Structure 1
């Protein structure tokens, strides 16, 4: 099918392909509207709860049109899961990442060169690596769309952890200039969690043009939210054991904050006779896949994991999620608890926290302070470096001259003092950057949630911009309402 025919695609054809590939009778609202929007080349921002069927919304339009849809995704495990599912259906999808064997990489690049792919999954860093960019930028490669999956990562990580996210808004104008026969393509951002400030950041950074917004309320009446105070490290482990002992036949997830935590806790639970595994981004693709499959099939009832687990892994019958340590951000929390109860049946989320003063058990407080201090240091270092950077330049060249310059440029862009002329060349407008407190504010908001006495679902709805729906909320599905 020719690209110019995408506008004249009959809705019957769209639905027929949907039924043929995925086997469902009809779309769930607002899947149909999102698909129409992307087929008509309209930018979109989609905030839809975990398990709401987001990936179909961009996969189907990509498969229905000639040309390539680029899916920018934050984690290799997430890309692997989605691409494997598509390949099992014999669909033209592939992924590129730095850990791939060179033969596999060459095969994918060949398919790309021959215009035989419809979906290509890759990280922002891989997309803007010179070898991949030069191929995608070639006039004969028709780019049909740019999708940012798990778009909250742009907000959470874009300033200092993964600065390449900040350059994504320069991709469309650069590609359209190089492919002069092509008029336009849609950019869409998909995430389960974005408060109004995060939505604005995503729109600005991606340079979305009059985007259509699809914002779904995250409230799940079947999901019970609970926070429990523990007073000592021993007390924390005892509460974990008490919780999982009564749920040994149920599927669940234990979330921790670091790789080290996941390994130590998994080893300790194995010694006590529990079948589990530690899952984190440091494992190889094969190791991650093995653990995912064991959990999906039920031979592992629960996994001790970092936030690397769960994005894009669909298991409807997860009955519980336990946070052994609280996430630092409310968006992470909502992502992770949202992995429970996707089948609509009752599920429980429990978060263990040390008491607010940290007087007897300071670990949680120390973690928060360490993170904030780390951010502050990165901004201070960036500010020092900014004074030395040339007013305009090319990022690879600057990176060779100045260590951490990518972060410094990202911080400048975040504060509105730098413009990307294209994904590789910048111009600095001003060189003084105040330390932004949005990360501090976000950590403070998480702390308020953990200590609130109001309905927890109400707190979440207000925090994520659903104030109207929150007004009459007394959910009956959180520890505060049940009290």
Structure 2
């Protein structure tokens, strides 16, 4: 390393200490920051609590120009931007729930090039008012960051189809910018198995991305699966678990808004200070619940998957999944909210007995999601026969119910490509797979969660293999999951 490089890196470390107060980076934060400053594409898989946000925030703040942060949830954007504002840093966010005056102020700041970081969802990024401003030749854009990149894989096909158009964003922006402009893309997530990593690379059209892949294993997380025989038994096991952890901070994850409200009401009647958190709450209600939990006024929150991303509370001593998550990637994300201070944290998942005769809720829920997914794939297959050889998303979305989702599915199957973020072109059938094959692959991913719940091997060993860390998994035993403890 030459003298000038050393000096500039010392400046990076000095800025890090000045802004966040830390003396040095945790591995591999420094390496990731160096890569982004050099405008390299990157794929970063770091465990929850690994300090991912600093890795893209610091390079953005050290460069002249704008970095776009594509984020899946309003709560996640608001939390990160609020922290940056407290540090008096030039960051803003755009989403559909913003008051009109605040949205106008942010768009004006964007036009005046007063921002270093702009947080927005895929849908907001591709909205006309925002896209037109981003395409202005004088607006310098350094990079695109996809935060919580596993959402592209989990939601892109059948829930948030705008995710699958993100790969066309960079080429379209470069056409509007001066010759020689370089825009890098980096994808950050805590969970991505080898197949998900390849999907992220392909969809985003990453160019020789530098990989930073760190094992999800956390030795202080104690994993346990417990069978409950009846709905009443599920309630009682949860209560017993919480009673054994008086005054310890925790989280209870449920699958639906209704369940979060019903469970909160029941626990409240027993004297517990808690709240139901889900996507149906107003921003003010969400912030109030988060603040109460972060300050310790509420011992725990009963929440859907809308809670947790980007909310940093180190002393979470337990996490309960009242029902099993659909996907392993969801599970590892959510149990990872526990024990970020390095101290032990218990992660309990309650599941119905295997046959589902006495408590059919889990079985019915799995079947509902599988049936819904199959229906969406079948609708997409019917639509492909009606699609013109090329067209635009807005028109198809207006003409056909779930038209945008159908286009996303056809893109995943290789049956169409994006000319730009708004226009598609059908491909020759010889280059694609069938939607039935794609559906079967998705069902296989969902079955992986069931395999994890039923495995007799060390749970962390199963997870390491599932996420592609085969060398680390060989002969591994954590000694503190329920399967290891029973041996």
Give the TM-score band, short-chain normalised: over 0.9
- Separation (CA, whole Å) in 2 of partners of 1:183 and 1:82: 28
Listed as ranges, the matches of 1:10-159 within 5 Å are 10-159=8-157
C-alpha separation between the residues in 2 aligned to 1:463 and 1:351?
18
- Structure 2: distance between partners of 1:7 and 1:151: 31
Alpha-carbon distance, 1:182 to partner: 4.4
Shift of 1:8: 9.8
1:80-109: CA deviation from partner (whole Å, max 9, x where unpaired): 000000000000000000010000000000
Shift of 1:438: 2.5
Q: Tell me how far apart the structure 1 counterparts of residues 195 and 325 of structure 2 sit (CA, whole Å).
A: 19
Per the TM alignment, residue 7 of structure 1 is displaced from its structure 2 partner at its CA by 8.9
- What secondary structure is seen at the aligned counterpart in 2 of 1:10? helix
Query: Once the two structures are superposed, what CA deviation does each residue of 1:5-50 show, in whole Å capped at 9, x if it has no partner?
Result: x999800110000000000010000000000000001000000000
Is 1:382 the counterpart of 2:380 in the alignment? yes
Q: CA deviation at 1:181?
A: 3.5
Instruction: Describe the superposition over 1:173-193 as per-residue Cα deviations: whole angstroms up to 9, x where unpaired.
Output: 111111024421110000000
Match of 1:225 in 2: 223
Name 1:366's counterpart in structure 2: 364
Match of residue 305, structure 1, among 291, 303, 306: 303
Change (3 A) 1:268 1:182: farther
Q: 1:476 aligns with which of 467, 479, 485?
A: 479
Name the SS of the counterpart of 1:381 in structure 2.
helix
Q: CA deviation at 1:359?
A: 1.8
Determine if contact 2:410/2:435 at 8 Å carries over to the other structure: no
Q: Deviations over 1:223-257 (max 9, x none)?
A: 10000000000100000000001112100000001
Q: Deviations over 1:364-420 (max 9, x none)?
A: 011000000000011111111121111101222232223322111111110111110
> CA, structure 1 residues 7+120, in 2 after alignment: closer, same or farther (shift >3 Å)?
farther
Structure 1 counterpart SS, 2:178: coil
Does residue 1:421 correspond to 2:424, yes or no?
Answer: no
> How far apart are 1:140 and its partner, in Å?
1.1
Q: Distance in 2 between matches of 1:56 and 1:181?
A: 30
8 Å Cα contact 1:372-1:439 kept in structure 2: no
Q: Tell me, which stretches of 5 or more residues in structure 1 are unaligned?
A: 1-5
How far the C-alpha of 1:52 sits from its partner, in A, is 0.3
Matched residue of 2:333: which SS? helix
2:434 maps to which residue?
433
Give the TM-score of the pair, scaled to structure 1: 0.97
Distance in 1 between residues matched to 2:177 and 2:70, nearest whole Å: 20
| Alignment-derived partner of residue 451 in structure 2 | 448
CA offset digits 1:325-366 (Å, max 9, x no partner): 110100000000000001011110000000111122111011
- Say which SS state the counterpart of residue 29 (structure 1) adopts: coil
Whole-Å separation in 2 of the counterparts to 1:233 and 1:434 = 37
Q: TM-score, normalised by structure 2?
A: 0.97
Match of 1:173 among 171, 179, 191: 171
2:256 match: 258
The equivalent residue for 2:241 is 243
Q: Any conservation in 2 of the 1:7–1:40 contact (CA below 8 Å)? A: no
- The residue aligned with 2:355 is 357
Match of 2:26, SS? coil
Query: Residues 48-86 of structure 1, C-alpha deviation per residue, up to 9 Å, x if partnerless?
Result: 000000000000000000010000000000000000000
Equivalence for 2:312: 314
Alpha-carbon distance in 2 for matches of 1:90, 1:29: 27
Cα-Cα RMSD: 1.3
Map residues 381-420 of structure 1 onto 2, 5 A cutoff. Answer: 381-420=379-418
Task: Pick which of 381-390 and 161-170 moved more.
Answer: 381-390
Spell out, residue by residue over 1:135-190, the C-alpha distance to the aligned partner (whole angstroms, 9 max, x if none): 01110111110000000000000011000000000011111111024421110000
1:457 lines up with 2:460 in the alignment = yes
Q: Secondary structure of 2:420's match?
A: coil
Contact persistence 2:319–2:338 (CA under 8 A): yes
Distance in 1 separating the partners of 2:392 and 2:7: 42
* Partner Cα distance (2:397, 2:484) in 1: 53
List runs of 5+ in structure 2 lacking aligned partners: none
Checking the alignment, whether the CA contact within 8 Å between 1:155 and 1:198 is kept in structure 2 is yes
Tell whether the 8 Å contact from 1:255 to 1:322 is kept in structure 2 after alignment. yes
How far apart are the structure 1 equivalents of 2:359 and 2:402?
Answer: 35
Q: Please give the secondary structure, in 2, of the residue aligned with 1:144.
A: strand
Local SS of the residue matching 1:318: coil
Task: Out of 306-315 and 357-366, give the one that drifted further.
Answer: 357-366
**Structure 2 residue aligned with 1:290, among 285, 288, 291?**
288
**Contact persistence 2:81–2:91 (CA under 8 A):** yes
Distance change in 2, residues 1:252/1:433 (3 Å): same
- How far apart, CA to CA, are the structure 2 residues paired with 1:465 and 1:162? 26
